[in-house]
Structure 1
């Protein structure tokens, strides 16, 4: 049974667990949200995550190839290719916790991560949760 939360406008939300699927607006592929350790709270046998689970290459893995011109490597490769957009391996640069966690439910001292949460890559990509991982 999935745990659903309903906000005041009736929109359903859910808690996010290890293995959730992420998407970046400038990435070529989706990736899975990793949890190298548990906060001691589980949903359907999977570790539940909080807003502090945002570390690049620990929690948030690469999204294939990056197409953001705000990424210096993409801009340089594109310039070298006479202005033709040249995608480069994605290395997300995320420096802040997830936005819009469930403030009144704490997982390991921090607000629970919800499927509506988003984050921002320093190269302008919006990172969103497309599947909460609960199956």
Structure 2
């Protein structure tokens, strides 16, 4: 539908008037934002001056007490920050030790797993046990690598090789390509090359899709001298490769703590 300016001045002239009006509105908005910022700065200055006046009105004893309080608060804040860093370092060391111990642990039903292209953890399971149990929980072997049967979906995948990710990226690219263009964009199109139709790597890297594990191998590096149902026992150090590029690792053993 034509705008009022287009009806009044014609399509070309009316469109130009519209663009000018938009520019004026943008300028007005910029001025308003600048004024608002100036008012905020003025408020800060007023508050700082007020604080300085209040300080001058204090007695020497009150000033000394205030300085001592500020010093104490600064020391407490510093101590709290140092304690936070110490706690974080301790937690990181504990996690590192846990993962180190996990490497030699036997894996059982419902152990948590991670994928380098997943946003969340998932689980490795067995619909039916192999006859070996640890504390009553079915023990796994390297053959428990079948997608969806053993390796449950991670939910969301960000691998550029995943068709679901590629499809979502293409949808976004199509939406951008087919969106209504402004007058200036139409003018610029006359002097520039049309955008590429393929989906770029940058867009793919920002998209996600549905995780549907695609695995064609067994877990690597199982316990060769301990067999579970005829196959090497699954250990915490074992890894699995998804065809879409994700590296799947064990995050917990699944055993009761």
TM-score bracket for this pair, using the shorter chain length:
0.7 to 0.9
How far apart are the structure 2 equivalents of 1:76 and 1:89? 10
Aligned length: 125
The residue number in structure 1 matching 2:47 is none
Query: Would you tell me which structure has more helix in proportion to its own residues?
Result: 2
Aligned residue runs from structure 1 range 1-135, under 5 A: 12=101, 13-82=104-173, 83=203, 85-135=206-256
How far apart are the structure 2 equivalents of 1:57 and 1:79? 26
Mark the runs of 5 or more structure 2 residues left unpaired by the alignment: 1-99, 174-202
Of residues 63-72 and 77-86 in structure 1, the stretch that sits farther from structure 2 once superposed is 77-86
Mark the runs of 5 or more structure 1 residues left unpaired by the alignment: 1-10
Q: CA deviation at 1:133?
A: 0.3
How far apart are the structure 2 equivalents of 1:63 and 1:29? 6
Q: CA deviation at 1:104?
A: 0.6
Query: Would you tell me which structure has more strand in proportion to its own residues?
Result: 1
Question: Structure 1 runs of 4+ off > 3 angstroms?
Answer: none
Q: CA deviation at 1:40?
A: 0.6
Q: CA deviation at 1:111?
A: 0.2
Q: CA deviation at 1:47?
A: 0.3
How far apart are the structure 2 equivalents of 1:43 and 1:118? 21
Q: CA deviation at 1:76?
A: 2.4
Q: Which has the higher contact order (CA 8 A, sep 6+)?
A: 1
Q: Secondary structure at the match of 1:131?
A: coil
How far apart are the structure 2 equivalents of 1:126 and 1:79? 25
How far apart are the structure 1 equivalents of 2:159 and 2:172? 15
The structure whose Rg is larger is: 2
